[in-house]
Each structure stands twice: as structure tokens, then as C-alpha cells.
Structure 1
């Protein structure tokens, strides 16, 4: 029997605002509320301090059945997942462009997605970075849409954390300070200096956009440590992720109608495709991620699925507010 999977990163607010957002969701997100009421929840803890990545990324790593080496966190697998490589026994390291800045709460980072880095900007900066990398223990090996692949020295180890996770933290608490990371810190400093007046950033200044003044290195796992999923990737509805990470709860609530529209469209399309004029019997899984967990909501096959599952209601606020 075919099934449908959807995932909404950043859909679970933290306990501090769970009650308030639940009240708003009940009033303005009718479809989500009804799906929550009729689904069976399965809660999966995903502590970022242990995984080195966001719960959405931890869920993604689990899909690939990552077999870690000793002391390898799940985050290490993100690089070979994002950039599959032919030489699958070599560790994959990714360097993703970013913006580093200061705010009232300390030093912070914005991801390439946050600052809308284009392919053309990335290529131009890649070309200018090649010479800088030449004088370091690191080697640029390739340019991809997900980031630049980097070869690291033998024995190099880095507490791997994903850029998305770092972008929600105070850098003072996560920046590697040990002597072993001096070459990496020096490299990042040289890139920041070299790129300050790069044409890419001059154009960004003109457009009042954040400068691309550095990047974040992560990874370390090899493709051989992964097993490709046997099922297609779920439909990802990404609207809430950035607002959730940046704690912009008013904006997060304002985005719920757009999520509802996408969810309604995807469900209607899938049910129409699979029904063929017959009663609908397709199971649906809806995966929601938060700060330190994800919840899988299972909607059992029912001929009434197209009517949004009238049936026994469940107490959804119990798992919503954890």
C-alpha cells in the first residue's frame, strides 16, 4: 500500500510559547488542528548537544541509517548526505558560506540560506578563496550547490555541528578554541579580510544585504557509513524553520496559513492521484520538528481521509507542550 509523508521543520514551538501558539493554532489553522486531533503521535528525542545538528537534520541522518565511528556525532553524516560522492570511503567535509556579526546577545552567524547566497556569488568567492586555502593545511576540492568540499589534514577532528544549529547559538559557546583549531581560525580570519571589499560584497552593500564574510566547516563521515533510504524523500514544507530558529513567534504564527495552504494542496493532490474514484485507503505521516525532538503523526488508512479524518479525537496538546 502506498503512503504519503510530509515534514514541517520548525513546527514544534518550545514549552515557553507552546500554550499561546496552541490557542492561536486552534483558531487559525483548522486543518492542522484536525490532523493533530486524529493522528497517533510518536515522540523521538533529539538533543542537539548530543547530535550536533537540529532535530530535522537528526531525522534526515536517521533515514540514512548512519553507522558512526567512535566519537562521531550524527552531524558528521550531513556532509555525505548533502553531497554524495563516488569515492565513498573518504570522509566528506563541507564548507558552507555564512555571515558572522555582532548583536546585543553576542556574536552570531547567519546561514547561506538566511542571507540568500546565489550560485554566482558562491562561484566568485570560491575562485578568490583558492589561493588562501593553498597556504593552509586545508584543500578546496570542489564546488557544489550545498557548499564547498574540503580535504582536511590527516588526524584532523572537529566537534561537528551543523550551520543551521550554529545559527541559533551564541558563537562564544560553540567556536572551537583549542590549539588544534588555530589553522582553521586563521583561515577564516584571512577569508574575512580578503572578502571585505570583494565585488560580491560591494554589490551586497549596495543592496543592503548581509556580507558573506566567512563560512562554517562540518562533516567528517564517509558515504560508506550510510545506507540510502528505500523510500522517496517526504514532501518538505520549510516555511516555519527560519522563524522558529530565530524565535520570531509573531512571524511564525503569521506563516501558519501558508503552511495550511501547502498542506491542503499536497494532501488533495495525493488523495486524488491515489483514489481513482475508489475509497481512499492511503496512510499519511506528518513529521513535525522542534528544538530537541521530532514527532511523527500517523494517520491510519480510512475511507474518510479526504474529509480530514472524522473519528476519535486525541489530546494533541499533551505532546505539543512537552
Structure 2
């Protein structure tokens, strides 16, 4: 296989800001890949699945879910993440969810789940909070396992029907609308409340706040999955803990991808876009132009790779564009970023 797929969550600018952002972006290699394409298609995403397009795409790419163009595909990633943490034996036995320590901001009108990337949760803090919470889950008949800092797993066979939302889908929304839904939602909420009280003003959190870090005052349940045999085949860079344990390799480079073509997801744009920090988003896109788009375009032109597919997404959809050596010979197509404006 000589084809390359590069997935870039939140590389697709939001429609209302796209004209201004694209005018500021100097990316001739990306412009050539977009304008001189073999195929280009935009997909509108059904947000009822309560995950983001790139999460549904990743689950499908790993063989864990149907294509994200179909309604309510979700992202059943928990058991695959468990295998990445060396917990494959346990993952093969039952239905598991990911349970992630979190910080919730509470105001008079709403609750907001903050970006989990900002927690900077160490192994020691993660283990300490886990040890405190585990007996409460065991008392409720639920097994809790520690996979990695900030990434735990909850066995809950009877909760398989819960409809949960990913942290990134929830972060910019009113949290109340994205809490688990289903027959056992109250059971989880009861445990969540007990954990919140247990961690409130605990010395671990007091020490974190003294270091200028956010207190861990809640936990987030999502990604429920039955046992699966899917294997990792995506290299992931700049990801969250659950992405890192799924990755076939970490911190990939364009040179490595050209030498050994495959699929890469680079998640570095997510936090900037979620926070609305468009200056940082532009800076990161310029870095992608230098480190990824330029070498991939050169490899395409000299035949080192057969084709390049870009998967560019935002919250409400994604664009797939493919290009090959012959497509790059379409000199009458002037390199342009305007294909990113056509999102429907």
C-alpha cells in the first residue's frame, strides 16, 4: 500500500469564521492538495450520536463501529483502549466504559466540563484518586480498573444501553444536556455524586490547587463497548490519554509516513478550536503546512506515495479530499483553500 490518510480533527474551519481564517492562512501545499484533487466530498454529521465526527471516524477506521455517515454510530472505544493499556484479558469478558477524572465549572446557570487536556493529571494523583473511588464502585457491584493517568475503565454489563457523550463533544456545551441517558443513568449519577463528595477538598486536590492546577471534582463516563477484536492501525499525535493507548505508534512524522504509508491522526488542533483561540489555530495550521502538507505534496509529485487523503473535520461535519500524482498535473486548477468554504 502506497496511499496515505491524514486525519486532522478541527482543521475544517467553522463556516462563520472560515473566510477570515483562510485569508490569514498561508498554506500553498494544502491549497494544491485541495484544489488539484481526485475526489472531494463534505459530510454533514448527525450530532445525535453525542460524539464528534473524528471520534466516530476513528472508531470506524479501527473496525469498532459502522461508517459515521450512518446515524448514531457512536464511538465504542473502551475495550480497544483497555487492550492498549494491557488489560485485554479483562476487556474480553464483559461490557466496559471509560471513566475519566474531570474538572467541572459550576455557575448559577449551568455546569461546564473543562477540557481534560488541561488537567495535567500525574500518575500519582490519578492512582490516589482511583484508590479513593474504587471501593464505592465495588460496593455498587461495578469493577473499576486503572488503565493510565486520567483513563480508568468501569465494568457495567447492565449499563450497556446507556447513551453517553465524549468529553470533547461535551466540553463547549452545557454539561447537563450531555449527561448519560438511559435506564441506568440515575445509578451512574448517584455514584458520580458520591465520588464528587469524596474528592471535595481532599488533600490531593488541595495540593493540585496549590500548584495552580484544577481540582479533580468529578468523573465522566463514555465510550461503552462490548469485547472486540479490532486492531490498532492508526498512528496518533498530540492526543488525549485514550487516543494515545489506541495508537499504533506515537508522535509520527511526515518522513516516517512517506517511508511507511498508512493512516495518521494529528489531534493538536482540537484544544485551540474548542477554546476559540484562532490565533493559536492558525499557528498550528502553519506548522502543519511546513511539517506535513509540504513534504506530502512533494512525495505525491515525485511518486514516493500513490495518493494522499485528507480527512478534515469540525463539530458538525468533515471533508474528505484525495489527490494523486495525475491530479497534481491539473495545472489549470489554481491552488486554493476555497474548497474548505464549501461545507455542504
Structure 2 matches for 1:1-40, cutoff 5 A?
1-25=1-25, 28-39=26-37, 40=39
Q: What's the counterpart of residue 292 of structure 1?
A: 316
Structure 2 matches for 1:51-70, cutoff 5 A?
51-66=49-64
Distance in 1, Cα, partners of 2:320 & 2:95: 31
Deviation at 1:9, TM superposition (A): 0.9
Q: What is the alpha-carbon root mean square deviation over aligned residues?
A: 3.2
Q: Aligned pair in 2 of structure 1 residues 14, 191: CA closer, same or farther (>3 Å)?
A: same
Distance in 2, Cα, partners of 1:64 & 1:54: 16
Show structure 1 runs of 5+ residues with no match. Answer: none
Q: Deviations over 1:242-293 (max 9, x none)?
A: 121223333322332222233157638x93xx99xx7545311121111122
Structure 2 matches for 1:80-91, cutoff 5 A?
80-84=79-83, 85-86=88-89, 87-88=91-92, 90-91=94-95
- Give the secondary structure class of the aligned counterpart of 1:312: coil
Q: Aligned pair in 2 of structure 1 residues 17, 208: CA closer, same or farther (>3 Å)?
A: same
1:150 equivalenced with 2:163 (yes/no): no
Q: Deviations over 1:203-239 (max 9, x none)?
A: 2211222111111111332233x64477776222222
Distance in 1, Cα, partners of 2:179 & 2:159: 20
Contact 1:95–1:149 (CA under 8 A) maintained in structure 2: yes
Q: What's the counterpart of residue 263 of structure 1?
A: 292
- Give the secondary structure class of the aligned counterpart of 2:140: coil
Distance in 1, Cα, partners of 2:308 & 2:24: 24
Deviation at 1:310, TM superposition (A): 5.3
Q: Deviations over 1:90-127 (max 9, x none)?
A: 22211011111135873110243232222332122111
Q: What's the counterpart of residue 45 of structure 1?
A: 44
Q: 1:235 aligns with which of 243, 253, 264?
A: 264
- Give the secondary structure class of the aligned counterpart of 2:315: coil
Q: Aligned pair in 2 of structure 1 residues 179, 24: CA closer, same or farther (>3 Å)?
A: same
Q: Aligned pair in 2 of structure 1 residues 290, 303: CA closer, same or farther (>3 Å)?
A: closer
- Give the secondary structure class of the aligned counterpart of 2:77: helix
Distance in 2, Cα, partners of 1:122 & 1:241: 23
Deviates more, 1:73-82 or 1:121-130: 73-82
Q: 2:185 aligns with which of 173, 181, 195?
A: 181
Q: What's the counterpart of residue 164 of structure 1?
A: 168
Distance in 1, Cα, partners of 2:294 & 2:101: 34
Deviation at 1:171, TM superposition (A): 1.0
- Give the secondary structure class of the aligned counterpart of 1:288: strand
1:206 equivalenced with 2:205 (yes/no): no
- The total of aligned residue pairs comes to 307
Contact 1:3–1:284 (CA under 8 A) maintained in structure 2: yes
1:247 equivalenced with 2:245 (yes/no): no
Q: What's the counterpart of residue 333 of structure 2?
A: 312
Distance in 2, Cα, partners of 1:174 & 1:212: 19
Contact 2:50–2:74 (CA under 8 A) maintained in structure 1: yes
Q: Aligned pair in 2 of structure 1 residues 80, 320: CA closer, same or farther (>3 Å)?
A: farther
Q: Aligned pair in 2 of structure 1 residues 116, 260: CA closer, same or farther (>3 Å)?
A: farther
Contact 2:96–2:225 (CA under 8 A) maintained in structure 1: yes
Deviation at 1:132, TM superposition (A): 2.4
Distance in 1, Cα, partners of 2:201 & 2:29: 49
- Give the secondary structure class of the aligned counterpart of 2:268: coil
Q: What's the counterpart of residue 117 of structure 1?
A: 121
- Give the secondary structure class of the aligned counterpart of 2:106: strand
Q: Aligned pair in 2 of structure 1 residues 78, 208: CA closer, same or farther (>3 Å)?
A: same
Distance in 1, Cα, partners of 2:115 & 2:204: 17
Deviates more, 1:250-259 or 1:183-192: 250-259
Deviation at 1:135, TM superposition (A): 3.0
- The two structures have a TM-score, normalised by structure 2, of 0.77
